[in-house]
Amino acid sequence: MIVNKVIIVEGKTDKKRLEKIIAEPVEIICTNGTLSSDKLEKLYSEAGDGDVYIFVDEDASGRKLRAQLRQEFPSAQHLYTRKSYAEIARTPYDYLAKILRDAYIEVDEAVIM
């Protein structure tokens, strides 16, 4: 199976939440915090030449990480949750579905109901 979409998230909780709702083959990669040069190299190799999406929390650490990733992956598409939810892990499934659909990522409608 060829995966041509890659979503970069901060942590395992974000990854698990997105895995529950996404209905197509997508590689979800966790940064687990700060980016070292080794982690960046690993991200590059895992992302390959797929479409890269950056979906991090709307808190201070998420904004810092997004700025770093924006420099490293200039052609990546950025996905944002509402500031009021702050974290992907706290974003309701119906709103996550809207964000993903807007990025042309298939969602499992059964999870939303």
Structure confidence at residue 47 as a pLDDT band (50, 70, 90): confident
- The pLDDT > 90 percentage for the chain reads 67
pLDDT band at 111 (very low <50, low <70, confident <90, very high): confident
What pLDDT score does 43 carry? 78
Predicted local distance difference test score (pLDDT) of residue 1: 54
Mean pLDDT of the 77-84 span: 95
Residue 28 CA, distance from chain mean position = 7
The phi, psi pair for 8, rounded to 5°, reads: -100, 125
Over residues 50-75, mean pLDDT? 92
Q: How many CB atoms lie within 10 A of CB 79?
A: 20
Q: Return the C-alpha torsion angle 3, 36, 64, 94, nearest 10.
A: 30
Render 20-46 in DSSP notation, one character per residue.
Answer: HHB-S--EEEE--SS--HHHHHHHHHH
